[in-house]
Amino acid sequence: MQITVGDLKIGQKAIIVDFDVDTIPLKLLEMGCLPGNTIELIQIAPFGCPLYFNVNDSHVAIRLETAKEIRVVINNTNND
């Protein structure tokens, strides 16, 4: 099964593979949420949403449904 940003655990890093451009707000792309960049889950808000990430050195919070649209591969070298 394809892993998405919504599946990450706190502190886990992954590399963005792709997403459907239509479902992702342009603003998020401009923050640096682009294929090939590393994304790290920093914090999950109480009740499971929103999620707080560091992507491309931008600190940004998005909702779970958006996070589930972003497909990633876990970066094994950084993953413990």
Partner 1 sequence: MTKDTIKVALIGNPNTGKTSVFNQLTGLHQQVGNYPGITVEKKIGACKLNETSKATIIDLPGTYSLNASSIDENVVIELLLNKKDENYPDVVVVVSEVENLKRNLLLFTQIKDLEIPTILVINMSDRMQLKGIELNIPFLEEQLQTKIALVSSRKNIGIEKIKELILNYESLPNLPCLNASSIDPEYFEKLKKTFPNQLVYKLWLVITQDVNFLNLERNEMESSFTKSHADLKQLQQKETIKRYQFINETLKLGQKIDQSKATDVRAKLDRVLTHKVFGYLIFFVILFGIFQSIFDWSSIPMDYIDRSFADLASFAKMNLPAGEFTNLISEGIIPGIGGILIFIPQIAFLFLFISVLEESGYMSRVVFLMDKIMRRYGLSGKSIVPLISGTACAIPAIMGARNIENWKERLITILVTPFITCSARLPVYAILISLIIPQQRIFGFLSLQGLTLMGLYLLGFGMALLSAYILNKVLRISSKSYFVVEMPSYKIPLFKNVAINIIEKTKAFVFGAGKIILAISIILWFLGSHGPDATFGNAQNIVSKTIKNTDSNYENKLSEYKLEHSYIGTIGKYIEPSIKPLGYDWKIGIAVVSSFAAREVFVGTLATIYSVGNQSGEEATIKEQMKNEIREDGSKTFNFATGISLLIYYALAMQCISTLAIVKKETNSWKWPLVQLLFMSGLAYLSALLAYQILN
Closest among 48, 43, 47, 40 to 70, alpha carbons compared: 40
Tell me how crowded residue 57 is: count the other CB atoms within 10 A of its CB.
9
Strands (E) in 1-80, as ranges, are: 13-18, 38-44, 51-55, 58-62, 71-74
Q: How far is the CB of 28 from partner 1 (least distance, A)?
A: 5
List the interface residues with partner 1, window 48-67 (CB under 8 A). 48-50, 52, 56-63, 65-66
Residue range at the interface with partner 1 (CB under 8 A); choices 1-9, 38-46, 69-77: 38-46
Residues interacting with partner 1, by CB under 8 A?
A: 21-22, 25-32, 34-35, 42-43, 45-50, 52, 56-63, 65-66
